[in-house]
């Protein structure tokens, strides 16, 4: 069960690759349906080979969220994705981990 | 029988008097008791032989080979076959109370029987038949055939295009004795015994050198040597002389013959290992910063005098080649020392390219001769470390194993058991395997000593265990859903390197990282390793890293 370490600022979390991939794919689907200009990097990231780095997903992902606008847009995207997820879908929990990393709110 | 370590060529450890290799009839020490023509050993000789053999208890098979040369006619082939099989069988205990893994070295059995056949062909035939009934007969036949073919190929290789000529047997025997003596080193142990080591690799190279001036004598000397040395040594020598030398053995020869080694390194570069080759053949020898570093690396390896001699000799060879616009250098490698030198040059070249020294053009890293020499020595050490660690032995992990960096060649994905790939990559939540991590874990399984097991759900940060050792897996870069290769670019290589460094900084759950470089070009692989090693220099604590190639 390969793990990737995601860093954002001085915070980091560890997630299993398949969980992280599932979360990013859900976010990407929500973004395509209602794109936010601040997250224009997301489709390019998803189609790059970065998702295929076993144990190393997220190289530089956090740098795309360095502006407050991008950070806010990403958190909003997470919220929208969680809201439309099916009941009991484990991706909700994975998105919550991502949210905690970006927002700094570990209770999220 | 597995070949001995590079340059070792088989060791014997005995009590005084020193161990001696067997010698021809009537000459030298009595270790050849029973050799054809020697007749039955006297009582005193027999007693001396038994005393010596008793001291060689640890080397049971070698002792066996010697005693069998004096076996009684009524020797029991079944018992001898059983002894040989026993001497070539190992048993390895497993964890968890599972039955031990028993490994029968069929090649070793074949080596012993073929060796016996030179002095006791009838008995060897009977022993072969008996052994074939106890082990895989087809494997044994194939192994015996390989041994015999190696002898035939060795003679053909030594003879080359020359016409065989009669050779004085006494001359050949004397030369064989001289070679054994010249390539045997003796030292005392702390227990007061004497340890004699025959360097089969260098002795074989001497036979190859002899073949350049007198091929017929070389063939005859090879035959004499085959009868004088022990079974393993004979098998190794004939393998090497038949063209089966490993690159490690060639590198060893290159260091022992530095002029030819340096020539091989220069030829390798000139033949296109790097852009430096073009500059080199056009006369701009060692002028750019990169070339100076490379020269320093070689000089540290071979010595300045030897490098100068190599340049002189190579210049003469180059003089015969046309230096036209479309000139494509193509130097042939004349001997194993040059082949080993070519390998060394390649390793240095790749190591330097990975550090951006060559690919970066004239990047100046050294400002004076001292720094230049230091840089060269450092690169040489690294190149040698890389070369030294390209072994194929299984790696053991655990708290008692020091932190280190290793490189191993792992099986091609097509050769993996698909059931293992699915099992290692299985994800319960997604109810499907991640084939990329399945492939990476299965490849790691092939080079690690111990059983791999997957972690519990609560073991965050641990990708798998080897025994009790928790391990992180980084790479391979494959499509995780299909397991198919994907285009790999430098950004992905750098991303993988960063993930390894992140793991060292932030993941306290593991002490070892397996980095699977599957699908990378050699330059991408060296870029990855270089980036990781450079990053590690800035870390307070590092982990053992195992690169899978």
Candidates B427, B477, B499; nearest CB to A52: B477
Contacts of B318 (CB under 8 A, 6+ apart): B281
CB–CB of B498 and A3 under 8 A?
A: no
Average pLDDT value for chain A: 90
- Averaged pLDDT, B178-201: 81
Q: Which residue of A has its CA nearest to B435?
A: A54
CB pairs under 8 A between A and B: 109
Q: What are phi and psi of B529, to 5 degrees?
A: -65, -40
Query: What is the pLDDT at residue B348?
Result: 56
The residues in B 112-151 lying below 8 A from A, measured between CB atoms, are: none
For A17-44, write each residue's pLDDT tens digit.
989 999 999 999 999 999 999 999 999 8
Mean pLDDT of chain B: 72
Q: What would the pLDDT profile of B470-514 be if each residue is shown by its tens digit?
A: 999 999 999 888 889 999 999 999 999 999 999 999 999 999 999
Q: What pLDDT is recorded for position B190?
A: 56
With bands split at pLDDT 50, 70 and 90, how would you rate the model's confidence at B308? Answer: low
Establish if B260 touches chain A: CB-CB under 8 angstroms. no
**Which of B20-34, B133-147, B226-240, B374-388 is the least confident region?**
B20-34
Select the residue of A3, A18, A49 nearest B489 (Cβ to Cβ).
A49
Chain B residue nearest residue A89, CA to CA: B429
Residues 6+ apart with CB under 8 A from B443: B410, B411, B413, B416, B476, B516, B518, B548
How many alpha carbons fall within 13 Å on the CB side of residue B272? 6
Q: What is the mean pLDDT of residues A1-23?
A: 90
A18 with B434: Cβ contact below 8 A: yes
> Does A18 contact B476 at a Cβ distance shorter than 8 Å?
no
Average pLDDT over residues B175-200: 82
- More confident call, B90 vs A85: A85
Among the residue ranges A13-22, A70-79, B429-438, the one predicted with the least confidence is B429-438
Instruction: Please report which confidence band the pLDDT of residue B151 belongs to, taking 50, 70 and 90 as the band edges.
Output: confident
Q: In angstroms, what separates the C-alpha of B477 from chain A's closest C-alpha?
A: 5
pTM for the model: 0.47
- Give residue B387's pLDDT: 42
Residue B234: closest CA among B246, B225, B242: B225
- Looking at the predicted structure, is the pLDDT value of residue B145 above 80? yes
User: What does the block give as tokens for B252?
Assistant: 């060893």
- Residue of chain B nearest A17, judged by CA positions: B434
Q: What angle, rounded to 10 degrees, do the helices at B200-213 and B169-182 form? A: 140
Task: For chain A, say whether B491 makes contact (Cβ under 8 Å).
Answer: yes
- The rounded percent of chain B whose pLDDT value lies above 90 is 27
- B422–chain A Cβ distance below 8 A for any pair: no
The CA distance from B533 to the nearest CA of chain A, in Å, is 17
Judged by average pLDDT, the poorest of B27-41, B122-136, B197-211, B395-409 is B27-41
Mutate: best of A1, A4, A23, A59, partner B, most B CBs <10 A: A1
What per-residue confidence (pLDDT) applies to B526?
81
Query: Does B503 touch chain A if contact means CB atoms closer than 8 Å?
Result: yes
Greater confidence, B461 or B91?
Answer: B461
Q: In terms of Cα–Cα distance, which of B241, B256, B162 is closest to B208?
A: B241
Report CB contact under 8 Å: B463, A3: yes
Q: Do A54 and B464 touch (CB under 8 A)?
A: no
Taking CB atoms and an 8 Å limit, are B502 and A19 in contact across chains? no
Please determine, for the modelled complex, whether the ipTM score is greater than 0.90. yes
Contact A59 B472 (CB under 8 A): no
pLDDT digits (tens, 9 = 90+) for B406-420: 888 889 999 898 989
Whole-number pLDDT of residue B392: 53
| pLDDT score at B310 | 61
Residues of B in contact with A4 (CB under 8 A): 499
Residue B347 pLDDT grade (very low, low, confident, very high; cuts 50, 70, 90):
low
Mean pLDDT of B224-228: 87
Residues 6+ apart with CB under 8 A from B154: B222, B237, B238, B241, B242
Backbone angles phi, psi at B283, to 5 degrees: 100, -10
**d(C-alpha B282, C-alpha B354), whole Å:** 24
For the segment A55-70, the average pLDDT, to the nearest whole number, is 85
From the list B266, B154, B283, the residue with the least C-alpha distance to B221 is B154
pLDDT of B299: 56
Q: Distance, in angstroms, between A30 CA and closest chain B CA?
A: 20
Instruction: Look at residue A40 in the predicted model and tell me its pLDDT.
Output: 92
């Amino acid at each position: 069960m390969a793990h990737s370490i995601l860093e954002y600022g001085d915070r980091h979390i560890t997630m299993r690759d398949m969980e992280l991939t599932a979360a990013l794919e859900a976010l990407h689907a929500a973004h395509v349906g209602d794109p936010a200009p601040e997250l224009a990097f997301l489709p390019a990231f998803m189609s790059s080979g970065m998702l295929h780095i076993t144990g190393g997903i997220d190289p530089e992902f956090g740098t795309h969220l360095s502006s407050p606008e991008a950070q806010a847009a990403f958190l909003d995207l997470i919220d929208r994705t969680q809201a439309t997820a099916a009941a009991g879908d484990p991706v909700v929990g994975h998105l919550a981990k991502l949210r905690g990393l970006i927002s700094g709110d570990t209770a999220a | 029988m597995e070949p001995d370590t590079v340059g070792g060529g088989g060791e014997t450890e005995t009590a005084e008097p020193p161990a001696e290799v067997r010698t021809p009839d009537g000459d030298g020490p009595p270790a050849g008791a029973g050799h054809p023509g020697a007749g039955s050993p006297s009582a005193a000789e027999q007693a001396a032989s038994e005393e010596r053999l008793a001291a060689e208890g640890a080397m049971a098979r070698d002792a066996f080979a010697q005693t069998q040369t004096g076996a009684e006619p009524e020797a029991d082939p079944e018992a001898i076959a059983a002894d040989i099989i026993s001497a070539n069988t190992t048993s390895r205990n497993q964890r968890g109370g599972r039955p031990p893994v028993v490994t029968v070295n069929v090649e070793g059995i074949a080596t012993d029987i073929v060796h016996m056949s030179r002095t006791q062909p009838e008995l060897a035939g009977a022993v072969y038949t008996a052994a074939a009934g106890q082990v895989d007969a087809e494997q044994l036949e194939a192994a015996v055939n390989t041994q015999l073919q190696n002898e035939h190929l060795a003679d053909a290789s030594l003879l080359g295009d020359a016409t065989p000529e009669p050779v004085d047997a006494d001359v050949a025997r004397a030369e064989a004795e001289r070679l054994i003596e010249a390539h045997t080193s003796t030292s005392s142990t702390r227990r007061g015994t004497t340890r004699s080591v025959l360097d089969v690799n260098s002795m074989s190279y001497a036979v190859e050198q002899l073949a350049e001036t007198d091929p017929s004598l070389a063939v005859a000397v090879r035959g004499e040597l085959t009868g004088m040395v022990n079974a393993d040594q004979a098998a190794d020598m004939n393998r090497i002389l038949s063209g089966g030398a490993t690159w490690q053995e060639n590198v060893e020869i290159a260091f022992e013959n530095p002029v030819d080694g340096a020539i091989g390194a220069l030829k390798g570069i000139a033949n296109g290992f790097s852009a430096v080759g073009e500059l080199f053949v056009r006369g701009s020898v060692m002028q750019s910063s990169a070339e100076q570093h490379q020269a320093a690396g070689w000089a540290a390896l071979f010595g300045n005098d030897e490098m100068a001699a190599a340049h002189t000799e190579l210049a003469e060879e180059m003089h015969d080649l046309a230096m036209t616009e479309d000139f494509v250098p193509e130097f042939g490698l004349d001997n194993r020392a040059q082949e080993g030198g070519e390998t060394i040059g390649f390793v240095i070249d790749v190591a330097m390219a990975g550090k951006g020294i060559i690919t970066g053009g004239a990047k100046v890293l050294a400002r004076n001769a001292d720094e230049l020499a230091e840089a060269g020595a450092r690169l040489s050490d690294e190149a040698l470390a890389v070369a030294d660690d390209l072994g194929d032995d299984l790696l053991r992990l655990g708290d008692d194993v020091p932190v280190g960096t290793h490189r191993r060649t792992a099986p091609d994905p097509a050769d993996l058991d698909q059931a293992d790939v699915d099992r290692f990559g299985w994800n319960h939540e997604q109810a499907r395997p991640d084939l990329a991590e399945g492939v990476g874990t299965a490849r790691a399984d092939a080079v690690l000593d111990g059983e791999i097991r997957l972690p519990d759900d609560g073991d965050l940060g641990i990708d798998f265990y080897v025994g009790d050792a928790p391990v992180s897996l980084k790479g391979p870069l494959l499509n995780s859903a299909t397991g198919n290769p994907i285009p790999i670019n430098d950004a992905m290589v750098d991303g993988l390197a960063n993930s390894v460094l992140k793991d060292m900084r932030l993941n306290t759950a593991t002490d070892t990282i397996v980095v699977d470089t599957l699908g990378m070009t050699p330059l991408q692989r060296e870029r990855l390793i270089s980036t990781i090693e450079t990053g590690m220099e800035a870390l307070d604590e590092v982990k053992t890293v195992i690169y899978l190639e």
